[in-house]
Structure 1
Amino acid sequence: MRLTTNAYPKEQRQDAWRFALKRVSLECLESEDEIYGELVTFRSALDIQFLRITGTRQSLAVDFSETLPCVWLVLVLEGEGAVTSGAVHQELHAGSLICGGDRVGVRLDMAADHRLLVVRAPLTLPSLKARATPPSVVTVLDGRSNLGQMLAGLLFSVADAMVDTTNDQMRPVETALPEFIASLLLDSAPDKDRGGTAGGRAALLERVFQTIEIRLSDPDLNLQQVAAEHGISPRYLQKLFESVGDSFGHCVKTRRLERCRLDLGSPLHAQKSISEILFQWGFNDSASFSRAFREQYGVSPRQYRKAPALPDEEASETPLRGRPASLKEHKKPPLRLATIEDEEPEQPAPTQEREVQTVPMGPGVRHHLLPATPETVHWGFFSRNLKPAIEVQSGDYVTVETLTHHANDDHERMIDGDPGAESVFRWTAEGKAVDRRGAGPGDASALGRGAGEGFGVHICTGPIAIAGARPGDVVEVRILDIAPRPSANPKFAGRSFGSNAAAYWGFHYNDLLTEPKPREVITIYEVDHQHSRSCARAVYNYRWTPQTDPFGVVHPRIDYPGVPVNLDTVERNFEILQDIEVPIRPHFGVVAMAPAHTDLVDSVPPANFGGNIDNWRLGPGASLYLPVAVAGGLLSLGDPHASQGDSELCGTAIECSMTAVIQVVLHPAKTAREPLKDLDYPLLETPDEWVIFGFSHPNYLKELGAAAQSEVYKKSSIDLAMRDAFRKARRFLMTMRGLSEDEAISLLSVGVDFGVTQVVNGNWGVHAIIRKALFAG
């Protein structure tokens, strides 16, 4: 997480800074009136917390008394000041190290501009476990001792790199840092902590842990040797371990297993065999090592190497959407040649009874046509490497054709006779018009489903490059009109259709009442958007049966997009949902800017770049504001819906191909005003409301590390999404409307509606609806 006070108006920066520090157990006691502060946080896989603070002159309190038992460090990266804790008062300079525990706090008085690194390490880490209680006094090192220099050097490196650090890259630090802290506590402990029976036991046990760490690779390491080395009896050594709820044998085994786990997951040891790694760390039997590893981590060493720290996905009872954690993508998407329209494009022929509205054009403003063809769509992924289908200027209008990836649920109604849809969905034994469908490997080497593996499913039209767009800017996508694509089959002339899938990724799937369980069900709807009563009516439904695609691959579930359904293999039920009309709310499920990510990105989980937001309010009259992450922005639209309820509970909306007119407006960062200044999340505006989107993981590609595109499907929750929506809505009210935090919180409770956006896209969503009428006065 990264926060800067520059994101807030001057009068609110003090409150924003104090609140940000309070969330990480720090407190701003005094500061200059015009404060500047930047807070960067990182939490490692072993729950070691790193906080980098940059600020102007201020006084801070460090107090972890309300956290779990821990040891903390503060390193002065730049600046000068003083530390006070009880009777301790000492000057600080660059390189000074302060160490304490959750039982003791300190006051830091920083005299001028400064940078600090705060580290909190839980006492549950093996190297720190010898301390039954955290340090009771503060230790201050000047950073010039041998130990201080080594520790400070390590932490300086972490501070410089933590913005772009992943959990994998942090592993060596996780291994070394607790050892440094244990040594620091042992060497610098006050006499009163060293004295007494308990203090003596803790100091001795710390030395024993160091001996074990040094000699882990020795297969003959045993209790008797270590006891003799420290001049105590084996029985007394065993009692020392019992005092911290452990045993010598268990401690050695778990430390060896942890070292092996780190090496198995590290690219530095990728060329070593599993046998080489286990023998290196003192194991002498591969069978017993494998059993111990599985007991400790729930997977075999071989499985862990393929999918670090996660059980085999295919072995889980409930199938999960998304890529396996073991997937390594080696192929880039084919780079499409740009087709920038420099001349006035040919206008589309009127093929619908209800045409998309004509847009009044201003002087110098262009209107582009972006049809859906194999050359203008990308299927199931986003990529910053894709060449744009067109380039537009700020203010330009675009008529965009979008196709639903569910059209083959009823080929006759949604594809037959439609040249655009037929060209995109063409799939014969000889090949596919659009081969890659998803962000998985192009050779289908992960699960064998097909190119891209279906790790991402949406047909996206674009990308559209916006001239002059740069990272930090905001692009406004105005949805002026959107209408269903009519069937081109003469049997259904003038009628439109869509498909709803109650699928295995739906919230309901493991909570069915009637047999057969489980099951997936497709419902085909007719969509009437031409008359005064715009509604959808169910035509028929059927239960999914295993479908064989033109390449001969069998799909037992709805696991790969665009598979042609052979309706002769299913039983269609026409007497369903009689006398029920679903109101039509045409909208886009996917509106995305290209993420600043090196690999292909699965189109299913939404995030800070937009994507598969799935909110029915993103229809005519709405504007979606999206932060730009790469040059040109690279805007894509897709996943058109005829209607959807909040939550999209069963898996999909009424998925229906649509044609829309949009206007693209660029808001450069240097001229942007609230609420677009420093916007780092999708923000929707309608004529009557502001809609703020929260996600379980707002920037999951960064938050969840190298395995983010598998982890996000396993770690989402409504609680996390609600928390994110609350924080964004509070920030919106405090910056956009100038409310105090107390005022904002009250208004959020009494005047703002929070709703569940969706629980089916891996990264679950909650939205806050702020009605503009609240501010009519």
Structure 2
Amino acid sequence: MTASRRTIHIHCDQWHLAWDHSISPIATIRSGETLTFDLLDAACGQITENSTIEAVKTLDFSQVDQVNGPIYVEGAEPGDTLEIEMVDLQPATWGWTAIIPGFGLLADEFSEPALKIWQLEGGANGWGEFAPGIKLPLEPFCGEIGLAPAASGAHSTIPPYRHGGNMDTKHLTKGAHLYLPVEVTGALFSIGDGHAAQGDGEVCGTAIETPMQATLRLTVRKDIQVPEPQFLTAGPLTPRTNTAGYYATDGIGPDLMEATRNAIRHMIDYLQRTYHLSRADAYMLCSVAVDLKLCEVVDAPHWVVSAFLPLSIFTNPA
């Protein structure tokens, strides 16, 4: 059987909760082989399609952002690059978005939990309805993609690192190729955190979180070296939402983070005023649909951050 034809299946219960090179691999593959992962949602099954707000209130944060793996890739050595091709990404028929107290860009302003359960139709090319008159096209990807670090000990799966991790990069959709620097023998690859859709920035800390079936091809590249993650997108970027105009709000100031917060605050105000959303719903919609962009970073002392709202998601005129 050739490497290109063999497919290995990783089950949803084969997960771990830290980036740690001492964790034993659950499978060994040859370079160029394909794997299919059945992934739980980012809450590790604590939130289901029948959950209520109580699930957010009782969420055990020590169990979130689990990743499936690790996978030992034969021939991978420190200094190499692992190429991860997104062959197929299929979300479940449901997902969730939440405001989790203490988490997100505006955590100090949103102290009460909120939960939105989505019904997702049509698979990877389908839709999710946020509210009457607001439909989001699905563009699935995985937020957590990474390799084991050379540094000893357990490293949290919550942040991103040079070896990958919780990158939450919405452009790593089907057809994209991600390149990660290998730090340990075998690379020790893991993945998780399925997203059906997300805005650049994921401002409230959650996207449309969903169980995911992810099919990937892992290839050791000895001909290229990357210092930190790099990727080739399938392109064009977000083609299913780039079908109409955008409304953008700016945040301007000497502090990039505060300018970012202001851009989202202004967008929340706009969504409340124009589409009559609650403040919590407007914040969650920003997280799943609004893209943050650095529009100007060279004219000190002030920088410009813009929040872009795709008007194509609204089925009724404002």
TM-score band w.r.t. shorter chain: 0.5 to 0.7
Counterpart of 2:232 (choices 673, 685, 707) is 685
Match of 1:396 in 2: 33
SS of corresponding position for 1:501:
strand
Counterpart of 1:524 (choices 114, 117, 122) is 117
Match of 1:536 in 2: 128
* Structure 1 residues not aligned, in runs of 5+: 1-343, 345-362, 414-448, 486-495, 513-517, 539-576, 691-716, 723-752, 757-765, 767-777
Counterparts in 2 of 1:687 and 1:585: CA distance versus 1, 3 Å: closer
1:640 paired to 2:221: no
Higher helix share: 1
1:372 paired to 2:21: no
Match of 1:443 in 2: none
1:410 paired to 2:45: no
Match of 2:308 in 1: none
Greater radius of gyration (CA) = 1
Cα distance in 1 between the residues matched to 2:27 and 2:207: 29
Match of 1:173 in 2: none
After TM superposition, give the deviation of residue 508 of structure 1 in Å: 2.2
For the Cα contact (< 8 Å) 1:455–1:602, is it kept in 2? no
After TM superposition, give the deviation of residue 457 of structure 1 in Å: 2.2
Match of 2:21 in 1: 384
Counterparts in 2 of 1:718 and 1:473: CA distance versus 1, 3 Å: farther
Residue-by-residue CA offset, 1:42-84 (whole Å, 9 max, x unaligned):
xxxxxxxxxxxxxxxxxxxxxxxxxxxxxxxxxxxxxxxxxxx
Counterparts in 2 of 1:367 and 1:506: CA distance versus 1, 3 Å: same
For the Cα contact (< 8 Å) 1:484–1:529, is it kept in 2? no
Write the letter of the residue equivalent to 2:73.
Answer: I
Counterparts in 2 of 1:505 and 1:366: CA distance versus 1, 3 Å: same
Write the letter of the residue equivalent to 2:81.
Answer: V
Cα distance in 1 between the residues matched to 2:66 and 2:185: 23
The alignment yields a C-alpha RMSD, in angstroms, of: 2.8
Runs of 4+ in 1 over 6 A off after TM superposition: none
Cα distance in 2 between the residues matched to 1:528 and 1:639: 19
Counterpart of 1:499 (choices 96, 102, 105) is 96
Matching of residues 105-124 of structure 1 within 5 Å: none
SS of corresponding position for 1:408:
coil
Match of 1:509 in 2: 107
Identity of aligned residues (%): 29
Cα distance in 2 between the residues matched to 1:366 and 1:718: 48
Match of 2:287 in 1: none
After TM superposition, give the deviation of residue 368 of structure 1 in Å: 2.6
Counterparts in 2 of 1:663 and 1:595: CA distance versus 1, 3 Å: same
For the Cα contact (< 8 Å) 1:473–1:627, is it kept in 2? yes
For the Cα contact (< 8 Å) 1:477–1:662, is it kept in 2? yes
Counterparts in 2 of 1:688 and 1:611: CA distance versus 1, 3 Å: same
After TM superposition, give the deviation of residue 410 of structure 1 in Å: 2.7
Match of 2:219 in 1: 665
Cα distance in 2 between the residues matched to 1:604 and 1:520: 19
After TM superposition, give the deviation of residue 642 of structure 1 in Å: 0.4
Cα distance in 1 between the residues matched to 2:8 and 2:293: 35
Counterparts in 2 of 1:482 and 1:368: CA distance versus 1, 3 Å: same
Counterpart of 1:594 (choices 148, 154, 177) is 148
For the Cα contact (< 8 Å) 2:19–2:148, is it kept in 1? yes
For the Cα contact (< 8 Å) 2:20–2:148, is it kept in 1? yes
After TM superposition, give the deviation of residue 688 of structure 1 in Å: 4.0
1:465 paired to 2:67: no
Cα distance in 2 between the residues matched to 1:524 and 1:591: 25
Residue-by-residue CA offset, 1:195-252 (whole Å, 9 max, x unaligned):
xxxxxxxxxxxxxxxxxxxxxxxxxxxxxxxxxxxxxxxxxxxxxxxxxxxxxxxxxx
For the Cα contact (< 8 Å) 1:456–1:602, is it kept in 2? no
After TM superposition, give the deviation of residue 367 of structure 1 in Å: 2.4
SS of corresponding position for 2:46:
helix
Cα distance in 2 between the residues matched to 1:456 and 1:523: 20
Cα distance in 2 between the residues matched to 1:531 and 1:365: 24
SS of corresponding position for 1:661:
strand
Higher strand share: 2
Cα distance in 1 between the residues matched to 2:209 and 2:164: 19
Write the letter of the residue equivalent to 2:11.
Answer: A
Counterpart of 2:136 (choices 566, 582, 597) is 582
What TM-score comes out, normalization by structure 2 length?
0.68
Cα distance in 2 between the residues matched to 1:755 and 1:649: 12
Write the letter of the residue equivalent to 1:605.
Answer: P
Matching of residues 203-602 of structure 1 within 5 Å: 363-374=2-13, 376-378=14-16, 380-406=17-43, 407-410=45-48, 412=50, 454-455=61-62, 457-485=64-92, 496-503=93-100, 504-512=102-110, 518-530=111-123, 534-538=126-130, 577-602=131-156
After TM superposition, give the deviation of residue 579 of structure 1 in Å: 1.9
Which one scores higher on RCO, CA 8 angstroms, separation ≥ 6?
2
After TM superposition, give the deviation of residue 372 of structure 1 in Å: 2.3
Match of 1:614 in 2: 168
Residue-pair matches, total: 238
For the Cα contact (< 8 Å) 2:12–2:37, is it kept in 1? no
For the Cα contact (< 8 Å) 2:12–2:40, is it kept in 1? no
Residue-by-residue CA offset, 1:578-598 (whole Å, 9 max, x unaligned):
221011110000100001121
After TM superposition, give the deviation of residue 405 of structure 1 in Å: 3.0
Cα distance in 2 between the residues matched to 1:683 and 1:689: 17
SS of corresponding position for 2:196:
strand
Match of 1:24 in 2: none
Cα distance in 1 between the residues matched to 2:192 and 2:221: 23
Cα distance in 2 between the residues matched to 1:387 and 1:466: 13
Write the letter of the residue equivalent to 2:229.
Answer: P
Cα distance in 1 between the residues matched to 2:46 and 2:129: 19
Cα distance in 2 between the residues matched to 1:531 and 1:587: 10
Cα distance in 2 between the residues matched to 1:602 and 1:529: 34
Cα distance in 2 between the residues matched to 1:619 and 1:364: 24
* Structure 2 residues not aligned, in runs of 5+: 52-57, 238-254, 261-290, 295-304, 306-318
For the Cα contact (< 8 Å) 2:49–2:94, is it kept in 1? no
Residue-by-residue CA offset, 1:378-420 (whole Å, 9 max, x unaligned):
1x3111011111111111111111111334323648xxxxxxx
Write the letter of the residue equivalent to 2:127.
Answer: C
